[in-house]
Amino acid sequence: MRASGRNGKVGKTRKVMAAVSFAAAIIMAGAAAMAAAPAAAPATAAKPAPAAKPAAAPAPAAKPAPKPAASATPVTATAPAATVATAVSATASSAAMAAPVTAAPVSESAGIKIDPYYSFNWTEAFTSPSVGDWFVGSNFGTSLGGKYTFNEAQAVLGMCSLQYRGPGLKTQEGREFAERTIDINTMLEDRWTVLPNYTVRTRALFMDEMRRAGSNEVWGHGLYDFWTTGLGIAQDFAVPGDVGMVGDVSYQYFGFPNYTDLLQEFQTGGATAEQSGGLQDYNNIRFRADSRFGKIATAWLGWSIQSYVNAKVVSEDGTYSKKAQLDNVFDVGSALDLTLVPAESGSKGAVKSSPSLGLTFKTSNQNFLRFKTFGDLHPDFIKGYYNYNQVELSAPVRWIYDEADDGGTSSLYLSLDWIFTSYAKRPARNDLGEFGSKKMWTSIFMVTPGIAMPLNRFTHWNIGYTFHIQNSNNKFEKFLPYNFQGHTVFSSVDIAY
């Protein structure tokens, strides 16, 4: 199950890319300091905070595996087994747009304005699921980046991040609780303001994810490890009436250096197993339209085409056809940023909510064969096994009950999340693994109350609890649970600038 030859080559590339990413981040830190020096003198003594710049608010929906507020996590690949995974969770541009680098620049030198960004997150979580043993998981992440504005027309944004995600309850099918991942992201974007209301953003990105399913696996040799690199171009239009429109086109190549296929190995014998690596490699073209209506509402529409390089469609007779696998993922959604109760002063007393609704539709020409026993000559054949429709609803509410002198806020939050997935053609299984007549569905509901307290305006401590309940009419749970409840208590520290 290993493609060591490919992996050796890719392993070196990974190390080089990781080194380049961090070197770039370090250079960015240095450059930020160079330009920042006149404005931000070294912190030799306690000084009153400058004009209050609001700290990055803690995510109301702080979960056991939170992402940094603006980590340059450009993509989430559709892992071979993770059929529920959304192909593209966020574009680099949207992550960058969400970053607080759009705040007032902190420094200016020789006409170049620098808006640095830094984040650090550490979460510890104790989880007790109703199936299996309790476990403790950790998440770490750090990001460093900056926006360099050369003049009114030209700016460059760069970001590098490192993220470790430890064991935890997963919301994607096929993911084990014990799985751990390391992600390295690098993104560079040029922003050219052609006209006052028209900006072209061109970006390049690289991401590497290593996944470790068990303690006996070695980092870098995971079956579902992947890397991706690509280019994207986005066009921002500002329309009168405080309306913004973004049109985005991107291309990325996803490589799975270690992934191979059991069916192919079984049919061709061990001789060609080494050549089977990269079976899930695919080209991804994505179109996305975003719109913003004032400061309250956003909406998006996306279409991803995943064209597989090596994977062929499996036929009913148990062989691979000549047709290459092709997946399409459509997604549409909307989010609101509401102030339910206005602040008494500053931001104290405000009650805010940012509900969102997303719909995802995936179609794939790939089929599925189920061999009941080794050497089964009449396997079950399911056409369109990987097609699904998904609804994702999130409703976080946050009450800012206190605000410190330096702008650090204390808040209580409650987040409700629901993910419902229905498979158009995949029948549910009974507890013996036999396919039934009804189509499969899965529902995941999570509720997360918590409290966030400031250490200073950059740093927050979080403490919270998540109740996770998952139901499905799929009762075959020999390898992965589909029906369970989980309780997670977590504590985290977040630093964001």
Partner 1 sequence: MKSVTSHRELKGASLRLLLALAFLAPGAAGALSLTDRMIGVATDIAADPASFLYDLHQNNEDFTPVTPGRFVEGGMNLFPTFLPLAMLNGNLKVRLLKEHGGLPQIDLLGGGWSDMAAWFVPGTKVGWWGWNLGAIISGSIDPRMRVFGGYEYSQMRADLELGDKIDAGSMFGSLEGLPDLSTLNSIHVGKREHYLTLGAELLRSSDKYLVAQMSYGLAGQRLAARLTWKGKGFNTGIAFYPEGSWVIWPFESFTVRF
What's the closest the beta carbon of residue 32 comes to partner 1, in angstroms?
5
Pick the closer one to partner 1 by CB: 180 or 286: 180
18 binds partner 1 (CB under 8 A): yes
The contact mask relative to partner 1 for 438-457 (x = CB under 8 A, - = no) is -------------x-xxxx-
Q: Which contacts (CB < 8 Å, 24+ apart) does range 44-52 have?
A: 49/405, 49/406, 49/407, 49/457, 52/346, 52/406, 52/407, 52/457
491 binds partner 1 (CB under 8 A): yes
Total binding residues toward partner 1, as defined by CB under 8 A: 84
Q: Kindly identify the residues of this chain, within the stretch 124-153, that bind partner 1 according to CB under 8 A.
A: 124-126, 132-138, 140-142, 144
**Alpha-carbon distance values, 420 to 132, 361, 382, 423, 426 (Å):** 23, 12, 22, 10, 15
What's the closest the beta carbon of residue 315 comes to partner 1, in angstroms?
39
415 binds partner 1 (CB under 8 A): no
> Which of these segments, 85-93, 95-103, 178-186, 415-423, binds partner 1 (CB under 8 A)?
178-186
Q: What angle do CA 124, 219, 179 make, to 5 degrees?
A: 45
Pick the closer one to partner 1 by CB: 305 or 453: 453
Considering only residues 405, 432, 437, 478, which one is a binding residue for partner 1 as defined by CB under 8 A? 405
DSSP H or E run through 263: helix 262-268
What's the closest the beta carbon of residue 14 comes to partner 1, in angstroms?
9
102 binds partner 1 (CB under 8 A): no
Q: What angle do CA 388, 420, 300 make, to 5 degrees?
A: 75
Q: What is the DSSP letter of 15?
A: H
- Bridge partners, residue 444, by sequence: 419, 470
Mention every residue, 6+ apart, whose C-beta is less than 8 A from residue 195: none
What's the closest the beta carbon of residue 448 comes to partner 1, in angstroms?
15
> Which of these segments, 157-165, 233-241, 299-307, 330-338, binds partner 1 (CB under 8 A)?
157-165
> Which of these segments, 115-123, 339-347, 376-384, 467-475, binds partner 1 (CB under 8 A)?
115-123
Pick the closer one to partner 1 by CB: 145 or 396: 145
Considering only residues 162, 207, 314, 395, which one is a binding residue for partner 1 as defined by CB under 8 A? 162
462 binds partner 1 (CB under 8 A): yes
Mention every residue, 6+ apart, whose C-beta is less than 8 A from residue 448: 61, 62, 63, 413, 414, 415, 417, 464, 465, 466, 467
3-state secondary structure of 273: helix
Q: How many other CB atoms sit within 10 Å of the CB of residue 112?
A: 17
What's the closest the beta carbon of residue 240 comes to partner 1, in angstroms?
36
User: Residue 96 phi/psi, 5° resolution?
Assistant: -70, -35
d(CA 447, CA 59): 14
Residue with tokens 């979580």: 125
Considering only residues 69, 106, 155, 207, which one is a binding residue for partner 1 as defined by CB under 8 A? 106
What's the closest the beta carbon of residue 429 comes to partner 1, in angstroms?
27
What's the closest the beta carbon of residue 142 comes to partner 1, in angstroms?
4
Pick the closer one to partner 1 by CB: 117 or 308: 117
What's the closest the beta carbon of residue 18 comes to partner 1, in angstroms?
6
Pick the closer one to partner 1 by CB: 177 or 282: 177
What's the closest the beta carbon of residue 137 comes to partner 1, in angstroms?
6
DSSP string, 141-161: EEEEEEEEE-SSSEEEEEEEE
Q: Kindly identify the residues of this chain, within the stretch 364-403, that bind partner 1 according to CB under 8 A.
A: 402-403
- Bridge partners, residue 158, by sequence: 146, 188
Residue with tokens 């995971």: 222
What's the closest the beta carbon of residue 135 comes to partner 1, in angstroms?
4
Q: Kindly identify the residues of this chain, within the stretch 285-344, that bind partner 1 according to CB under 8 A.
A: none
Is residue 410 within 8 Å of residue 460, measured between CB atoms? Answer: no
Q: Kindly identify the residues of this chain, within the stretch 22-61, that bind partner 1 according to CB under 8 A.
A: 22-23, 25-26, 29-30, 32-38, 40-47, 49-50
Is residue 260 within 8 Å of residue 277, measured between CB atoms? Answer: yes
Q: What share of the chain is helix, strand, coil (3-state, %, to 5)?
A: 10, 55, 35
Considering only residues 97, 157, 210, 311, which one is a binding residue for partner 1 as defined by CB under 8 A? 210
3-state secondary structure of 201: strand
d(CA 98, CA 196): 20
Is residue 55 within 8 Å of residue 458, measured between CB atoms? Answer: yes
Considering only residues 291, 356, 459, 485, which one is a binding residue for partner 1 as defined by CB under 8 A? 459
What's the closest the beta carbon of residue 224 comes to partner 1, in angstroms?
15
Pick the closer one to partner 1 by CB: 192 or 219: 219
Largest CA distance in the chain: 77
> Which of these segments, 14-22, 86-94, 193-201, 234-242, binds partner 1 (CB under 8 A)?
14-22
Pick the closer one to partner 1 by CB: 217 or 265: 217
Residue with tokens 């969102």: 356
Pick the closer one to partner 1 by CB: 2 or 286: 2
Pick the closer one to partner 1 by CB: 123 or 228: 123
Pick the closer one to partner 1 by CB: 125 or 157: 125
DSSP H or E run through 130: none
C-alpha dihedral (221, 224, 225, 227), degrees to nearest 10: 150
